[in-house]
Amino acid sequence: MNRAEKAALQLRAVDVLRMLKETRTYDELAETTGLPAGDLNRYVNGHVLPGTERAREVVEDLGREALAEELAARIRVDDEGYVDNSATVFDQPFLDLAAPVVANGFDFERPDVVLTAATDGITLAAALASYYGVRCAYAKKSKETAVEEFIEARQRLQSGIELTYYLPASAIDPGESVLVVDDLIRSGETQELLLDIVRTADADVAGVFALIAAGEDGIRRARERTDASVGALTTV
């Protein structure tokens, strides 16, 4: 890790600690993290930065667990198992904080593009693309006007409805590495269509990520379609 990467990691750890501190006293934060309350106070107030090893532990281990908890607290599941996650996908600052934790806590390759499906995946994809400093692309259920060439992926869903996603062909170049993300994965049909788009573009899959897995089917299905790392932050 070079100096700039170390500094970025240390600052990310401070962001995670500040998020945790919002709902905790320093003593409670000390209990959650296993770090001394005095040190935590200095980190949160910006007087001292945590060392790189501590920062890594906060971002990769603690951060992931804390984010999963925060996410679970924001989700509402109705009687039929449908998930209301608007408290998450409408909160860009929360997703911006989640991005480094996701990027460091899962075994994804560094992507050239983050790809999602409109609509609800877009804010997460934007947060991850911004973290990596790469492009964000989203496939839509209709063709964007004035775009001449599209990559299309079509599938007949379990419901019998045919679903087609369209991505402007210029969005992904052959050989690029693509991180496929979405806010939610249930059947895995949407992820499968996105993976088809990556294949049609002659690109590689850097990983597949969803904030929420509704059941295990979608994750299993995505794993059957790629050797890249596939994961979700929380399962309901």
Ligand X SMILES: Nc1ncnc2[nH]cnc12
Nearest to 122 by CA among 56, 48, 184: 184
- The residue ranges that bind ligand X (CB under 6 A) are 82-83, 184, 186, 214
Cβ proximity to ligand PRP, 9 vs 114, nearer residue: 114
Cβ proximity to ligand X, 177 vs 190, nearer residue: 190
For residue 137, CA distances in Å to 113, 127, 179 come to 7, 12, 10
Interaction residues for ligand PRP, span 99-118 (CB under 6 A): 117-118
φ and ψ of 230, to 5 deg: -125, 130
Contact status: 56 vs ligand PRP (CB under 6 A): no
Q: Which residue, judged by CB position, is nearest to ligand X in the bound state?
A: 83
Cβ proximity to ligand PRP, 41 vs 155, nearer residue: 155
CB of 213 to ligand X, least distance (A): 10
CB of 70 to ligand PRP, least distance (A): 19
CB of 122 to ligand PRP, least distance (A): 8
Q: In terms of DSSP H, where are the helices of 37-185? A: 37-44, 52-56, 63-74, 86-89, 92-105, 122-132
Q: Is residue 197 a contact partner of residue 115, using CB atoms and an 8 Å limit?
A: yes
